[in-house]
Amino acid sequence: MHQELFCNLNITDYPLIHQDLPIKTRVMNTTVDEVSKSIHDLLFGIGIKVDSPGWLYCSPEYITHNCHIDGDFYNHNSNWTSLCKLNYVIGGPNVTTCWYDVPDNVHTSAKKNFTSTGFPYWVFKISDCNLIESQIMSGWHLFDAGVPHNIVNHKSEQRWNLTIILKDIETGEWLTFVEVKHRMSLIGLC
Ligand SMILES: [Fe+2]
């Protein structure tokens, strides 16, 4: 049994979408206003601040994204950040999110890259990745972006993902999946 990798949330609010949805660039920053006011308030109550929200667009032509982790090294002993993302997914009813195990020695050969908005991520060779979980995601959920993962578009669908990093209000540090899930469970969000 491996660790939990995602968690659907008991949030009924929609994000406030200021742009028309057919945003068709791969990565696009947005503003914190786009996340609904009541979600801001809920998160504030558990010491969490919204950071770096952006839309990720998956076009019908896109088949498989690189297997990667989001963020950066936590330290130099091959531990990763286990960065938590708060996501809201629209469309892509058959698009799956896949998580993978990679051998420890492969971590040192992962390649660092940056999104067009300057956010770091590390890419693994798919031949080094062993599938451990595959899920169709929709609506609001937490997502462990510190485990190697990718998106697989089986049926040429469009998909939009509002993706948000969560920081501790006091320290300004990125929060891990385990920490966010713990705090959200205290107020019944997951
Ligand atoms: Fe990712």
Take residue 175 and report the two structure tokens written for it: 């929060």
Residue 65: per-residue pLDDT: 80
Cα angle 47-50-53, degrees, rounded to a multiple of 5: 165
Instruction: Give the Å distance between the CA of 147 and the centre of ligand 1.
Output: 9
Residue 56 gets which letter from DSSP?
Answer: E
Give φ, ψ of 187 to 5 degrees. Answer: -115, 20
Q: Say if CB 9 and CB 162 are below 8 A apart.
A: no
pLDDT for 46 beyond 70? yes
Contact by Cβ (8 Å): 144, 69: no
Domain boundaries, the chain: 6-14+23-186
What is the pLDDT, as a whole number, of residue 116? 76
Contact in structure between 160 and 59 (CB atoms under 8 Å): no
Banded model confidence at residue 25, pLDDT cuts 50, 70, 90: low
Per-residue model confidence as pLDDT tens digits over 54-107: 888 888 888 888 899 888 754 444 455 678 999 999 899 999 999 999 887 776
User: What's the CATH architecture for 6-14+23-186?
Assistant: Sandwich (2.60)
38 CA distance to ligand 1 middle (Å): 26
The answer on pLDDT for 22 being more than 70 is no
* CA of 88 relative to ligand 1 center, distance in Å: 13
Contact 81, 73 (CB under 8 A): yes
Buried b (16+ CB within 10 A) or exposed e, 125-137: eeebbeeebeeeb
Summarize pLDDT for 94-152 with one digit per residue, the tens. Answer: 999 999 998 877 766 788 888 877 788 889 998 999 999 999 999 999 999 989 999 99
C-alpha to C-alpha distance for 165 and 76, rounded to whole angstroms: 22
Cα(101) to centroid(ligand 1), Å: 15
Distance in Å, CA 42 to ligand 1 centroid: 24
pLDDT of 86 reads: 94
Length of the chain counted residue by residue? 190
For residue 177, how far is its CA from the centre of ligand 1 (angstroms)? Answer: 13
How far apart are the CA of 83 and the centre of ligand 1, in A? 10
